[in-house]
Chain A
Amino acid sequence: AQKITQTQPGMFVQEKEAVTLDCTYDTSDPSYGLFWYKQPSSGEMIFLIYQGSYDQQNATEGRYSLNFQKARKSANLVISASQLGDSAMYFCAMRETGTSGTYKYIFGTGTRLKVLA
């Protein structure tokens, strides 16, 4: 079974509109972390936002917010007021505690977002 599922291979959004990128996860680790990364066409992986499993409030970073619904095991990324520069691939990732006592990171397959002018 997939531990991180991103069901939207591609999405379009109009400039200045908000968009939600979906991510669901599966873990039995009570202490986990959820992340979103952006990969523009230039290739680098840019850390966007983090949500800890025990965090009571949804994480926000500027125009990015993470809609964390623990019971549903979902961690959707919301981008408000989309900009042309937001066009990129977006990866959802989860951090679990590995059997070696250090962390293990699992990535989804990504969602390609295209912002339309």
Chain B
Amino acid sequence: DSGVTQTPKHLITATGQRVTLRCSPRSGDLSVYWYQQSLDQGLQFLIQYYNGEERAKGNILERFSAQQFPDLHSELNLSSLELGDSALYFCASSPGLAGHTDTQYFGPGTRLTVL
């Protein structure tokens, strides 16, 4: 158990809908990262937050947004869903402060299926 939690574990929805994925980082970790992994694909970095602030953006679609709350949990919002959004969405956390040894730990993932 990495200490990172993600809910829900599975999500099935229809095209055009909106969903919210939730992540709670490990205790003490300030950085949260979101990744998308499509079938047989590598990890695509989406976005990173550090202590409530957005710090880096990757290949995140405009239909997707995220935020990190004062209690450091994070939510990834996916809207106007398309079939191609079906994927495994990972949250990862790390202490995050540059200049220190930092290791990223992953949550179990949320498997999103868009029908």
Which one of B2, B88, B103, B108 has the highest number of Cβ atoms from chain A below 10 Å of its Cβ? Answer: B103
Interface residues on B, range: 20 to 34
Number of inter-chain CB pairs below 8 Å: 67
What is the interface size of chain A, counting residues whose CB is below 8 A from a CB of the partner? 26
Segment with Cβ contacts to A, from B13-21, B62-70, B90-98 = B90-98
Complex-state Cα separation, A46 to B2, whole angstroms = 8
B106 contact set on A, CB distance < 8 A: 37, 44-47
Indicate if the CB atoms of A103 and B94 lie closer than 8 Å. Answer: yes
Determine whether the beta carbon of B104 is less than 8 Å from that of A105.
Answer: yes
CA distance A46 to B50 in the complex (A): 22
Interface secondary structure of A, over-half rule = strand
Report the separation of the CA atoms of residues A103 and B97 in the bound assembly, to the nearest whole angstrom. 7
The answer on a CB contact under 8 Å between B88 and A43 is yes
* B-side contacts of A98, CB under 8 Å: 55-56, 98
- A101 partner residues in chain B, CB cutoff 8 A: 55, 98
Asked if B96 and A103 sit within 8 Å, CB to CB, the answer is yes
Known: A43-B88, A91-B42, A101-B98. 17 other contacts (CB 8 A): A33-B103, A35-B103, A37-B106, A45-B109, A47-B104, A47-B105, A93-B104, A95-B102, A95-B104, A98-B55, A103-B31, A103-B94, A103-B98, A103-B102, A105-B33, A105-B104, A107-B43
